[in-house]
Structure 1
């Protein structure tokens, strides 16, 4: 009943009467009052006025399942949530749950990670109470060779969330979100597949939301939404916003089978579009001009040898993550 009352309070801009709640749940006014006290103890600010009822004034920044679901607007993505106070890695937990049959759209969230992973095996800083550390389970019926495009769909969803919040962020191909040359979001996609079918994809997303500072070794390379604007963000609402954008773009991707539908938007957000970059491949590093992505998310780079298609690897840009030529 507590979770349902919370959702009812969030759905009303004005007061909801105690009598209506009593009749809806077939309980006494005392039972309703006790639930309101429990919600207040959880940090919800609730106004109570005789003959008017109850009204939600403010919600705490908590990542409980009821709080996240109360603001979720999707049909599939994030409708099933697994929440943990602490995990080694949300991606590891998501892979385990996917192996056990967790459905598509299942969202794994941790308040903190102690072995969070980034791309190329790097550690990911995941402190408690100020960031968003989540992994989404997907089971698309697409060829395994097309799975890399899902990473760009994830990057687009986070970029569009930043736009909704009025934050001038950019994309560093293929999947980092950057503000003023420093990383605000990292994305790590992992897959289990056979020769011709995908068992599941796990897309991990780490968003620096409310950090006020970073360890010395990250001061020049990391930034948070809060450090940019001075505001504190309601993390459940950020999660819901990302899931909403992801669901819309993911559906379109499954329909079209490529990224033509978002290529223009993605390229408009690239911080290195038409700029000189270094491309770090396994056996060599070379220089060229970034021209944006093609229809399947590969990076087009102009070099002395003509236009080259970059399918994987790292790119580095002057002034990003402390990199200077």
Structure 2
């Protein structure tokens, strides 16, 4: 109960920022005594919120720390399900690990695990993901799609479309998708998406969409080997971004494309992915389990494989690392 009062208080203060709101009015809106309001305001101040109090005027929110806690996300969410249930950690080995545990315990579809820092972030093919504290978006979304195992790879492509659209809506940056689901700006990686699932025979029990975005990261945060290949939204836009606002936009876009997929199938997602892809029509090299394939990336097939035109014909690629040079 206490946390819900605190969350509602913060929501009211955010909605009226930068104006004052009387203690009486806050009490009425939040549904608790003025003494309880004062107690929760003191707790918020301890967490870095600057709240001004003036006799006869009431309270107003002057400064908000850049946090991605549920009470910061709530005022910005415009979704029906995605992000309505959140598990928040300041620091965790991996949001993917926590999401798997929560999914096994029965977490509802659209539930999100989110952290300020990952110390063992997971990337594709067993790689690690560098996740400095309070600089990016490190979250995992739980889905329970009514699709077959054979269609599961389409959700990876869907996720890249939703995240790309959410980031673009907030920043306006020229973000391209690299197959299957990395997001690049000017050829440098700004976001990675990792899809994992649990199922048996032809039934999916749940899927976890892991999303790592370099938001306010600077080059000083990265080890030397990442500086030439990675970038962040702040570096590219030239300014600090409010992460909770960005997460809310991404969850909204993800929910919309997911519902569109459930209603109309993969075709519309395929079209959106191809429009956002940076490699189509270019010569690429795909490092597959079967060896290197070099050719022109043409499009996706109906199942989501990347079609590459080579001297030997058109070859569908289902799993690979892609290399291509941005010109």
Scaled by the length of structure 1, the TM-score of the pair is 0.91
* 1:241 Cα deviation from its structure 2 partner: 1.1
Is 2:249 the counterpart of 1:241?
Answer: yes
In structure 2, C-alpha distance between the alignment counterparts of 1:35 and 1:113, rounded to whole Å: 29
Greater CA drift, 268-277 or 20-29: 20-29
Report the CA distance shift for 1:219/1:23 in structure 2 as closer, same or farther (over 3 A). Answer: closer
Instruction: Report the more deviating stretch, 67-76 or 169-178.
Output: 67-76
Contact 1:290 1:299 in 2 (8 A): yes
* Counterpart contact for 1:162–1:168, Cα < 8 Å: no
Distance 1:145 1:50 in 2: 64
Q: 1:252 aligns with which of 260, 281, 284?
A: 260
Secondary structure in structure 2 of the residue aligned to 1:113: strand
Q: Deviations over 1:96-150 (max 9, x none)?
A: 2111211211111122222211111111111112111111111111111111111
Q: Check 1:94–1:22 CA distance in 2 against 1; reply closer, same or farther (3 A cut).
A: closer
CA 102–31 in structure 1, closer or farther in 2 if over 3 Å, else same: closer
Q: 1:97 to 1:29 in 2, by over 3 A?
A: closer
Q: Does 1:276 align with 2:280?
A: no
Farther off after superposition, 60-69 or 246-255: 60-69
CA offsets 1:24-60 (integer angstroms, 9 cap, x no match): 4554444433433433332334454554433334422
Which of 187, 194, 200 pairs up with 1:188?
194
Check if 1:9 corresponds to 2:13. yes
Residue correspondence of structure 1 range 155-174 to structure 2 within 5 A: 155-164=160-169, 165-174=171-180
Q: Which stretch shifts more, 116-125 or 242-251?
A: 116-125
User: Equivalent residue of 2:240, what SS?
Assistant: coil
Q: Indicate conservation of the 8 Å contact 2:69/2:88, yes or no.
A: yes
Deviations 1:5-33 (A, max 9, x none): 11122333654332222334554444433
Asked whether the equivalents of residues 86 and 113 of structure 2 are also in contact (C-alpha less than 8 Å), the reply is yes
Name the residue aligned to 1:323: none
In 1, the alpha carbon distance for the partners of 2:317 and 2:28 equals 62
In structure 2, the residue matched to 1:288 is: 295
Give 1:243 deviation, angstroms.
0.6
Let me know the Cα RMSD of the aligned residues.
2.0
Out of 224, 227, 230, the position equivalent to 2:232 is 224
Is the 1:191–1:200 Cα contact (8 Å) retained in structure 2? Answer: yes
Contact 1:270–1:292 (Cα < 8 Å) also in 2: no
The Cα of 1:184 is off from its aligned counterpart by: 0.5
User: 8 Å contact 2:300–2:307 — kept in the other structure?
Assistant: yes
Q: Distance in 2 between matches of 1:245 and 1:21?
A: 32
Distance 1:311 1:26, change over 3 A: closer
1:265 aligns with 2:272: yes
Report runs of 4+ in structure 1 exceeding 6 Å deviation: none
